[in-house]
Amino acid sequence: MKTPVIISLIILTLSFFSFFSGMSLALPDEEVQQMARDYPIFKKAEDRIVRIWANLPKEQKKWLRSEQIDWIINLRDTEASALMEIGISRVEAYTIVTDNRSDYLLGLTGTTSQITQNPAQMSKFKTIIKKK
């Protein structure tokens, strides 16, 4: 199966689970796809996390699957909301948290990222750190 098909199946499964558990995805798949079409920086972050996930060893995917689902359903939105509360745009916030998650997944594999953060994002991080 190709990676986009696998990701679509995961999102469909999450949507099904969310519907029957009374939970809803705060950032539905349609919005993710729309943001990826409208904002190249977000598309780059989404493509990166999809690539990283696709290349994780099967054993790691098995024990990370429930954590990744929790991140998609809950933590991604919580992290992005915290950034938006201090004035970061929605697209930038979701780009930042997606890149952070990618870095986390790469860290678990013991590899380093060849893809660097966008310099504009890094200046936002410096601003966040200074405000705290």
Alpha-carbon gap, residue 61 to 78, rounded angstroms: 23
User: In angstroms, what CA-CA distances link 67 with 20, 92, 102?
Assistant: 19, 23, 13
pTM score > 0.75 for this model?
A: no
Side chain identity at 70, as an amino acid letter?
A: D
Residue 60 confidence class, pLDDT cut points 50, 70, 90 = confident
Residue 82 confidence class, pLDDT cut points 50, 70, 90 = very high
Alpha-carbon gap, residue 43 to 81, rounded angstroms: 19
Average pLDDT, the chain: 74
- Among 15-19, 68-72, 91-95, 109-113, the least confident range: 15-19
Alpha-carbon gap, residue 81 to 76, rounded angstroms: 9
> For the residues 77-104, what does the mean pLDDT come to?
94
DSSP state of 27: S
